Amino acid sequence: MPQVVFRSIFAILFLWIGPMVWAETPVRLDLGESYVTDRGQGIEVQLRLNRATAYGLRLRDNPMRLIVDLAGVEVQNLPNGFDRADRAQAVTLGPAPRAGWGRLSLHLTAPMVIERAVMDTRHSDAVRLTLRLRPATAQEFATHLTPASADEPPQAVIAEPAPPLRTRPLIALDPGHGGIDPGAERDGYSEADLVLLFALELREMLLRDGLVDVFMTRERDEFIPLPYRMSRARMAGADLFISIHADALAAGDGMASGATVYTLSETGSDAASAALAAQHDRADLLAGVDLGQSDDVVADLLMDLARLETDPRSDALADALVTGLEGAGVELHSRPRLEANFTVLRAPDYPSVLLEIGFMSEGGDLENILDPVWRSRAQGGIARAIEAWLAEDNLRRSLMRR
Sites of contact with Zn ion (CB under 5 A): 176, 183, 245, 247
Three-state DSSP class for residue 377: helix
| H-assigned helices in 184-331 | 191-209, 226-236, 271-286, 297-327
Beta carbon nearer to Zn ion, 213 or 247: 247
Cis peptide preceding 63, ω within 30 of 0: yes
Smallest separation, CB 356 to Zn ion (Å)? 8
Dihedral angle of Cα 21, 386, 173, 306, to the nearest 10 degrees: 50
Smallest separation, CB 184 to Zn ion (Å)? 6
Smallest separation, CB 275 to Zn ion (Å)? 12
Backbone φ and ψ for 61, nearest 5 degrees, come out as -110, 165
What's 148's DSSP letter? G
Smallest separation, CB 181 to Zn ion (Å)? 9
Smallest separation, CB 280 to Zn ion (Å)? 6
Smallest separation, CB 83 to Zn ion (Å)? 54
Q: Report how far Cα 114 is from the mean position of its chain's Cα atoms.
A: 19
Beta carbon nearer to Zn ion, 58 or 245: 245
Beta carbon nearer to Zn ion, 176 or 351: 176
Q: Print the SS3 string covering 50-75.
A: CCCCCEEEEEECCCCEEEEEEECECC
Q: Determine the Cα–Cα distance for residues 311 and 317; give it in Å rounded to an integer.
A: 10
Closest chain position to Zn ion (CB): 245
Beta carbon nearer to Zn ion, 169 or 183: 183
Q: Determine the Cα–Cα distance for residues 111 and 15; give it in Å rounded to an integer.
A: 27
Beta carbon nearer to Zn ion, 183 or 268: 183
Beta carbon nearer to Zn ion, 67 or 278: 278
Q: Assign residue 332 a region: left if phi > 0, alpha if psi is -120 to 50, beta otherwise?
A: beta
